[in-house]
Structure 1
Amino acid sequence: MPTRPRPEPGPTQIPHFGLYGEAGSIEDPAFVHIENITSRSSAHGWVIKPHRHGRMFQVICMFSGGVEVRLDEQVHALQGPWAITIPPGAVHGFRFEPDTVGMVLTLAEPMLTDEAHRRSQPYFETLLSTPKTIAFEQNGALLAQLQHFLQQIDREFNRPDTGRALMCEWLARAVLMTLRRQLDLHGISAESATTPSATLAAFRQQVETHFRDHWSVVEYAATLGTSAARLNRLCKQLLDKTAKAVPQERLLLEAKRRLIYTRSNLDEIAYDLGFQDPAYFSRFFKRNTGLTPGRFRSENNFDTTPE
């Protein structure tokens, strides 16, 4: 099991899980993990109690057997080949039939939402918005394709070959595109999104578009048709952080990327990220990391010498 719960929750709380028990956010956009349903569930009597993940997107692909799955407030009984998609923040729990066969694919949310992957967002938005159960035909071509991609990810994940992380990321996108095509085949890819996890997904998409604009929580809430107070409650409930922290963390992540991977000077980075005053950018960065931007760049071994 790659997950374990945080400290024991109160009686009215839903456990919030992190990969390998980490309480912090996952910043690696190339993160992919895969395991089979048996190794994940058999040791727990084939039951996974209701819980949620903050910044992980999960796909449960069941090839044979059965499961009773809770997704937010709905319960589904599924038999045979199904895929279950679980966006960040969605409450989910499982009661598998013994010897159910399938795979569990876990992806770091930044891999699916950051600016570098904007082209794929229109295809995957429906998968990221709400939990979904996706039926497959037993001998269908898309099921065979899904199994093939998952087997390839499993092979890459367990072999230290060159470019393993990139290969896993590319194959994970192929899995998601296969799921999207199966949704289209059943004519349900455009279904409405009204659940709390859908609101959270929409908020993250707005953050990705506007984090450089330094929007307030009130401005984000207005675009989502909700109140700042409700958005803040939602983030605290599903992410264990305030709504204000979400765009702040995205801004900080982009600053780190610019400092490590570009040759822009500090003033250019500050202005590109929407700071009107480079000194304020430096204070923002140090307040959140304990380091000045220059020190952070130096400690990450970035060579600013012109080629």
Structure 2
Amino acid sequence: MATDGGIHHYARGEWYAPSLSHRRIRFQKGLYADFHHFLLLGEGRGELHFDNGEDRPLHGPLIAFLPPQARCDLSIAAGTAAHLVGVSAQIMVDAIGDKVESYSLRLFTEQRKLVEAADPLLAAEVAPLVTGFVRELGDPARSSWMVAAAYIRLVLMALWRGRGGERGEERGQGETGSILQRYRQLVEAGFRNHRPISDYAAELGVTTDRLHSICQRALGRSPIQLLHERVVQEAKLRLERSARNIQEISDSLGFRDPTYFSHFFKRKTGLSPAGYREIARASAGSENSMLSSGYADWP
């Protein structure tokens, strides 16, 4: 992880006060090209101008999430205020965390399109979080990585819930789908603990054979394969997107020693952790199928 002193390479927070004239901002450039951005638009109007030629009018108050793939400029009409905050993939990893909801947040942040919520109540809920984030970055005596990640986690949760994330996951699953979803959530919360599959089955109230059958039928993989894939996915993300050394990553993933972690990772990927990291750094900015493409890779 980067030190807090260098947080401005990993996060940004800007306040645009109401102006007498129209403003157009190219915010996804240079250091910020691959940031995840959140836009909080106050009462008034704005517009997003996407690189593919599409224009999206905005009517505040609203909160919008813009992943790195949603390339655009932002126009803010005269008299309209806005906050724009952005974070790197490294801070996003820490913001999403490893709790039960993390799997859903990972999928949410991997969307390749604008997510807009023109809900005044949601905008009002998020407003103090966004302003707190901007204030945190604006104070050189503070500018804490942990605090910045905490603000982004709260913004993400509010936006995900406001878009019906929890309700959407509950609809139309049936018993089998419900068991699979709950297994994924348990894995998300506990994959670092390296629990046996029998523990997961017992917590779900099914036999190990029943859980195996559900996973095989729905995803073509056994429960242990899914569990190991989740561990490997997290290891890849940390090797690609954090500055932690191999031992720190091994410890954070619950391995008893880095040698065992290295053997596990190489058995699953064909590369040592150090070798994978070297390829990831050499491939930065390119499309390399060997690398993790994001959180949604875990099924």
The share of aligned pairs that are identical, in percent, is: 15
> Could you tell me whether the CA contact under 8 Å between 1:62 and 1:82 is conserved in 2?
yes
Residue aligning to 1:48: 25
Residue aligning to 2:128: 148
| Residues in 2 aligned to 1:98 and 1:258: alpha-carbon distance in whole angstroms | 51
| Residues in 1 aligned to 2:83 and 2:95: alpha-carbon distance in whole angstroms | 29
RMSD in angstroms over aligned alpha carbons?
Answer: 4.6
Residue aligning to 1:158: 138
Amino acid at match of 2:72: H
Residue aligning to 1:234: none
Q: Shift in Å at residue 255 of structure 1? A: 8.8
Task: Count residues with an aligned counterpart.
Answer: 204
Amino acid at match of 1:165: W
| Residues in 2 aligned to 1:173 and 1:50: alpha-carbon distance in whole angstroms | 22
Q: Shift in Å at residue 48 of structure 1? A: 2.7
Residue aligning to 2:103: 121
My pick for the range that moved more, 249-258 or 153-162, is 249-258
| Residues in 1 aligned to 2:163 and 2:74: alpha-carbon distance in whole angstroms | 22
> Could you tell me whether the CA contact under 8 Å between 2:117 and 2:163 is conserved in 1?
yes
Higher RCO, Cα 8 Å, sep 6+: 2
Q: Shift in Å at residue 90 of structure 1? A: 1.6
Q: Shift in Å at residue 257 of structure 1? A: 3.5
Output the TM-score relative to the length of structure 1: 0.51
Q: Shift in Å at residue 252 of structure 1? A: 5.0
| Residues in 2 aligned to 1:176 and 1:79: alpha-carbon distance in whole angstroms | 21
2:259 to 251, 255, 267: 267
Residue aligning to 1:67: 46
Q: Which runs of 5+ in 2 are unaligned?
A: 1-5, 171-190, 192-218, 220-234, 283-299
Q: Shift in Å at residue 248 of structure 1? A: 7.1
Output the TM-score relative to the length of structure 2: 0.52
> Could you tell me whether the CA contact under 8 Å between 1:63 and 1:82 is conserved in 2?
yes
Q: Larger % of helix: which?
A: 2
- The equivalences for 1:184-263 within 5 A come to 184=164, 251-252=239-240, 256-260=244-248
| Alignment of 1:86 onto 2:66 | yes
Residue aligning to 1:183: 163
Amino acid at match of 2:246: R
| Residues in 2 aligned to 1:89 and 1:31: alpha-carbon distance in whole angstroms | 17
1:107 to 87, 90, 98: 87
| Residues in 2 aligned to 1:58 and 1:171: alpha-carbon distance in whole angstroms | 13
Amino acid at match of 2:42: F
Change (3 A) 1:50 1:134: same
Q: Shift in Å at residue 268 of structure 1? A: 2.8
Q: Shift in Å at residue 105 of structure 1? A: 1.1
Residue aligning to 2:119: 136
